[in-house]
Amino acid sequence: MSGASVLQELVRQVRTDTLRILESVPDAALLWAPPGTSNTILWHAGHALWLQDLMCVALLAGESHLPEGWAERFGQGSRPSQITQWPSRAEVVQLLGRQLVEIGRLLENATEEELAGYPTSLSHHRNVLGWIVHGLHDEAKHCGEMYLLWKMWSRSRKLA
């Protein structure tokens, strides 16, 4: 089994979980953040899209495929509390689904040499394969944050 086929399965599993949570939470929970925090479920989902664009799509396709302004709203160092125009859940779901298909195609066409290469756009301490795994690990952690926020939101409604 090739590294690319293992990555395809990992991408499918991680992204399916991200989409399942995003599609399941009530509308009122999407932009809720506990007091003293600012990252919301919708922000985590948008951040997952940014992560995979940076650490997979751009490395394998040679360019970013994010909508304009996405990195500023959802990238590292973004400030969710200052976002005034949020994309809809449907838009984020569509983008995540489209990216899942695109990553599958990119990995299917990736050579072992490409995956073993060191990118010029990111730190050289990881090869492309390492960056993709790192991005998927990070998305899985953000998926856990989404689930925890959903649970916290639900609990806060019961206490009110």
* Average pLDDT estimate for 71-88: 93
Task: Tell whether the torsion through CA atoms of 135, 54, 105 and 93 is positive or negative.
Answer: positive
Q: What is the pLDDT of residue 114?
A: 93
Provide the CATH number for the domain formed by 3-159 in this structure.
1.20.120.450
In the predicted structure, residue 56 carries a pLDDT above the cut 90: yes
Task: Tell whether the torsion through CA atoms of 31, 36, 38 and 41 is positive or negative.
Answer: negative
Instruction: Give 124-150 pLDDT, tens digit per residue.
Output: 899 999 999 999 999 999 999 999 999
Residue boundaries of the structural domains of the chain = 3-159
Q: What is the pLDDT of residue 160?
A: 61
Q: Whole-prediction pTM value?
A: 0.94
CA-based nearest residue to 145, from 29, 53, 50: 29
